[in-house]
């Protein structure tokens, strides 16, 4: 029994010597966005594209600053387009503009259970 314990202890010791600790480097996601600190120019863009607020939420940014932000999805039902905006305390950023959205309304209603009674 003593030999077995010595073999196990020796293997454990060798494993500790061979295995080197690894520390993952901190990595942050980067997104290309257009930011502006002038709310009037953002409003002008939204009106020119006939975009209406649809859905919004709040949270913290993904970068190291952990800033408070609100994200709002704007839609234009007539042209099947949308935009995603992020509102920070000192700027507004256009994250995405999406056009020519095509979806099956019946399938979407079934998925979201909008018409169930």
Q: 80-112 pLDDT, tens per residue?
A: 899 999 998 888 988 888 888 777 777 777 777
* pTM for the whole structure: 0.59
Burial 98-117 (b: 16+ CB within 10 A, else e): eeeeeeeeeeeeeeeeeeee
Q: How far apart are CA 107 and CA 7, in angstroms?
A: 63
Q: How far apart are CA 76 and CA 13, in angstroms?
A: 65
Q: Say if 111 falls within a structural domain.
A: no
Q: Would you mind telling me the total number of residues written for the chain in this entry?
A: 117
Q: Say if 39 falls within a structural domain.
A: yes
Q: Say if 52 falls within a structural domain.
A: yes
Number of domains the chain is built from:
1
- Cβ atoms of residues 17 and 9 within 8 Å: no
- Cβ atoms of residues 94 and 78 within 8 Å: no
Q: 61-81 pLDDT, tens per residue?
A: 777 778 888 999 999 988 889
Q: Say if 109 falls within a structural domain.
A: no
Give the pLDDT band of residue 17 (cuts 50, 70, 90). very low
Q: Say if 44 falls within a structural domain.
A: yes
Domain that holds residue 94: 34-103
């Amino acid at each position: 029994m003593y030999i077995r314990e010595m073999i196990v202890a020796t293997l454990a010791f060798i494993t500790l010597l061979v295995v080197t600790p690894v520390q993952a480097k901190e990595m942050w996601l980067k997104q290309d966005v257009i930011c502006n600190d002038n709310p009037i120019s953002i409003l002008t863009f939204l009106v020119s594209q006939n975009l209406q607020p649809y859905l919004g939420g709040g949270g913290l940014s993904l970068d190291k600053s952990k800033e408070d932000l609100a994200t709002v999805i704007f839609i234009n039902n007539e042209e099947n387009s949308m935009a995603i905006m992020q509102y920070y305390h000192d700027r507004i950023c256009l994250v995405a503009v999406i056009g020519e959205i095509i979806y099956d309304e019946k399938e979407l209603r079934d998925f979201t259970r909008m018409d169930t009674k």
